[in-house]
Structure 1
Amino acid sequence: MSLRSQEQLVVGVGVMFLLTVCITAFFFLPSGGADLYLHEENHVHVRDTFNREEVRRKEQRELLRKAEEANPMPIPKPEIGAADDAEGRRIFVKQMIKFAWDGYRKYAWGENELRPNSRTGHSSSIFGYGKTGATIIDAIDTLFIVGLKEEYKEARDWIEKFDFKESAKGDLSVFESNIRFTGGLLSAYALTGDKMFLNKAEEVATVFLPAFDTPNGIPYSLLDLQSKRGKTYSWSNGKAILSEYGSMQLELDYLSNLTGNPIFAQKCDKIRDVLTSMNKPEGLYPIYITLEETPRWGQHLFSMGAMADSFYEYLLKQWISTGKTDERTKREYEEAIFAMEKRMLFKSEPSNLWYFGKMNGNRVEHTFEHLACFSGGMVVLHAMNEKNKTIADHYLKLGKEIGHTCHESYARSTTGIGPESFQFTSSIEAKTERRQDSYYILRPEVVETWFYLWRATKDEKYRQWAWDHVQNLEKYCKGAAGYSGIRDVYSSEPEQDDVQQSFLFAELFKYLYLIFSDDDVIPLDQWVFNTEAHPFRIRH
């Protein structure tokens, strides 16, 4: 959108000032005589008018550069304006993407993420301690989809020169690298047909193969690419985590299908075989599993949220991605969701809000996580692909109820943004009184569910809820050069955490853009999203 009138005036004055400096420099810088100019930098004598003018133009450009460094022009910030229809709102989201990308490009290019207020690079422990350009790879398919052509090209050019193995340092998360790096590159290939992306995806996946060298084939959580040593998290007592080892198949099976190299699919098939063979307590999957030759479940902790979530998502999406031919994963998905509905689905009083609780053995914790809000979209996607109308109607209703509950967690906060997790007790519903749960780190799961609900129902309220979130992001999360998480959604002036997560581009921005787009932009009968919202083509 255009800058406001006052900002235009400021920019105009600034431009006039710079032009005045240049013109002054043109006439008054010493030239060393009418016909002779000695260019000290290159030690050449310039005797003709053309060369003399070229030297002066170079000096003018240098003056402009120095002036800009002394008084840098602000990165333009989009205004809410009169975006009162789907097209206007979609354009506004595109401007948000451009603003956030420009900040990253200017202050953290090649780093994993940006600190938008400090204007420096940022990297969380999941990326080790190297500079692996997580934001570039996570964002490139979104840049392509929304039509930011120049930004897409500069991202593509950076990726072409990027050597993941050389750049990565320390212990990297195998799961996060798979969904962000392998997934992002595969998506870029699927969208563009550019073979470079496929080659890079295979390179990344190949360097992580040593993580699967365990007694039972379930991968380590972390891998040092230099030493090729894998390990689990120190706090997991030597065990692997369901959401991590169980969320590899979509990317690696797709990679094998595209390249003809079976090794990647074989690694995931081994994981699936292990899980199929194991007894599930009351049909439920515990969060932890050992890496012994004969694996055992760890403590009987069950969740739809952290450390479990995307496992269920991938059972469903693997079936869809194979053109609905992988019947094993479909059957195991249905069995798992049925068991979770039976044991873990609750309705609050007095508002009748539906949510999946957490379980430790038989003890229930009536907490629903922001991460678990993805489940509404998952069951809606199930409904959209289910032939049995009774089953489809059931899961569409469940998806609507989950979408409503998660919206309530947003509506009941001061900022209109939902917390990391929220409780249902005798005194509160869809809120948290725990300070440690009241933060928001630009998570996409609530909007993700609204996106699927919009595609399935065309109920305008889902677009309105998404637009409300856009405005709240602008009000509370926009920083100096990008968007930041906030530390307390119940504060009227929340402190920002100064981190622009890479998944802001991959997930939140993409879902916001798509919810205001026509259905033929990434149609769900042709594409399936991985858990980082990178779209892959469905095999038919």
Structure 2
Amino acid sequence: MKSLREGERTKAQRQEPQGTQVFGGREMGRNQPRSLGRRGLSGATVIDSLDTLYLMELKKEFQEAKAWVEESFHLNVSGEASLFEVNIRYIGGLLSAFYLTGEEVSWRFEAPELSRLGRKPCPAFNTPTGIPKGRLVSGSWGWATAGSSSILAEFGSLHLEFLHLTELSGNQVFAEKVRNIRKVLRKIDKPFGLYPNFLSPVSGNWVQHHVSVGGLGDSFYEYLIKSWLMSAKTDMEAKNMYYEALEAIETYLLNVSPGGLTYIAEWRGGILDHKMGHLACFSGGMIALGAEDAKEEKRAHYRELAAQITKTCHESYARSDTKLGPEAFWFNSGREAVATHLSESYYILRPEVVESYMYLWRQTHDPIYREWGWEVVMALEKHCRTEAGFSGIQDVYNSTPNHDNKQQSFFLAETLKYLYLLFSEDDVLSLEDWVFNTEAHPLPDR
């Protein structure tokens, strides 16, 4: 078993240099190799990869990435960017690199520089409620007027990074801004205890009653339980909000299919869409992570619930021709855990399923999670590896799928990191000492 584990870990480790071939060529500094998008901050792939490269002891690639950050990364660029992405990728990635390497990137984290980095997104919070707007123009760092709603997963996924900004810089403004978000959410009425995905930053009211633990909602719930853990279990507000939300999710969104698969549906004003997005598959790991601190009579229940949701997400992979999962899968018309539309059949190197495998392995040491993880490694090798790195695929139900010609930065930040940790000893980034932000950047408990 030991030799197999070491072989699997080495295989996952070898995928990282393949994915970072772009570092030495003309793709260096792009947000995602060979992709097109809005002009804005550059270097998401490089900064997203720093901690993974360091963790895997890929010293040459780490030094190349570090050199690019030191020489080329700056904030004075023109274009539109997402507050959420700036936070989880750039701030989260640089914070994580600092904590893991210490002096090696400490130049970025001297107090004046740190405060300057953290202050850049702060104008987003200049709204009547203090709920931030979602997009910024990064040249002037003014704020775009793209839509009237703020997204739960975006404004709800700032807490971990902003508290660390306050701790490292001594500037309380960062902590005050995210604590105000909690204050607004505690006051507002929630339908059946559920948190809809869209909130007006002007009125502080929900814009529509669409609830999802997948896209638009996901990391809000994740950051509640992780805020509790990161605070050395002193943030009672986060703990209470998390378990209250989880109880409402169980009551109104949780379902078991005729075939016995447990899934979390989406809720639209009381009507359920019987589907799960790939993004929602993180929830198995989240529920496992929070099981220990639940009420004693609920702990075993949450552990079993985490295992059942993770099993369902594995089925979405196992029922495809490529053994990779679709962007979304449904439970209707006698079909279970499969995409029913071609527009949902793609796979873009997402991490959420292997993320849950890692958490469930760390919790249970059941070898099934490493077996499932190895299936993903082999499927990535077979269907996603290219001469220039790794690519998403357009249809997981086609045994010879076409590539989408994009390597998302989260593949290096999250997917490969979680696979590596799945086959590592538990003391490698121990869950007792570290929490991962929603881009898998490890931050130490405070």
Q: Deviations over 1:423-460 (max 9, x none)?
A: 00132000012010000000000000000000000011
Does the 8 A contact of 2:153 with 2:219 survive in 1? yes
3-state SS, counterpart of residue 165 of structure 1? coil
Q: Which of these residues, 382, 386, 400, is aligned with residue 307 of structure 2?
A: 400
Q: Deviations over 1:399-425 (max 9, x none)?
A: 100110000000000100010000001
CA distance in 2, matches of 1:299, 1:286: 7
Equivalent runs, 1:361-510 vs 2, <5 Å: 361-384=269-292, 386=293, 388-510=295-417
- Secondary structure of the corresponding residue to residue 25 of structure 2: helix
Using the aligned pairs only, state the percent identity. Answer: 45
- What residue in structure 1 maps to residue 252 of structure 2? 343
Contact 1:484 1:500 in 2 (8 A): yes
Do structure 1's residue 320 and structure 2's residue 229 form an aligned pair? yes
CA contact (8 A) 1:182 1:201 kept: no
Q: How does 1:249-288 map to 2 (within 5 A)?
A: 249-288=159-198
Q: TM-score, structure 2 length as denominator?
A: 0.96
Bigger CA radius of gyration: 1
Matched with 1:85 is: 4
- Does the 8 Å CA contact 1:355/1:405 hold for their aligned counterparts? yes
Query: 1:106 Cα shift?
Result: 2.2
- Unpaired segments ≥5 residues, structure 2: none
Structure 1 residues 488-533: Cα deviation after superposition (integer angstroms, max 9, x where no partner): 0000110000001111111000000000000110000000000000
The 5 Å alignment of 1:102-181 reads: 102-115=21-34, 122-125=35-38, 129-130=39-40, 132-166=42-76, 168-181=77-90
Secondary structure of the structure 1 residue equivalent to 2:337: strand
Distance in 1 between residues matched to 2:45 and 2:171, nearest whole Å:
28
What is the CA–CA distance in structure 1 between the aligned matches of 2:40 and 2:209, rounded to whole Å? 36
Deviations 1:17-55 (A, max 9, x none): xxxxxxxxxxxxxxxxxxxxxxxxxxxxxxxxxxxxxxx
Q: 2:118 pairs with 205, 212, 216, which one?
A: 205
Alignment of 1:32-47 (within 5 A): none
Q: Secondary structure at the match of 1:298?
A: strand
Q: Which residue does the alignment assign to 1:32?
A: none
Superposed CA offset, 1:234-275 (max 9, x none): xxx411110001111111111111221111111111111111
> Partners in 2 of 1:110 and 1:481 — Cα distance?
15
- Select 2:137's aligned residue among 224, 239, 260: 224
How far residue 232 of structure 1 moved from its aligned partner, in angstroms, is 4.8
Greater mean deviation of Cα atoms: 415-424 or 149-158: 149-158
Q: Distance in 2 between matches of 1:494 and 1:337?
A: 37
TM-score (norm 1): 0.80
In 1: Cα distance, 2:129 partner to 2:46 partner: 34
Is 219-228 or 155-164 further displaced after alignment? Answer: 155-164
Shift of 1:203: 3.5
Task: Return structure 1 stretches of 4+ with deviation > 6 angstroms.
Answer: none
Over the residues paired in the alignment, what is the CA RMSD in angstroms? 1.6
Q: Classify the secondary structure of the residue corresponding to 1:518.
A: coil
Shift of 1:286: 0.8
Q: Does the C-alpha gap of structure 1 residues 464 and 84 become closer, same or farther in structure 2, counting only changes over 3 Å?
A: farther
Partner of 2:101: 192
Instruction: State the 1:291 CA deviation.
Output: 1.6
Tell me the equivalent position of 1:30. Answer: none
> For the Cα contact (< 8 Å) 1:174–1:222, is it kept in 2?
yes
Q: How far did 1:164 drift?
A: 2.6
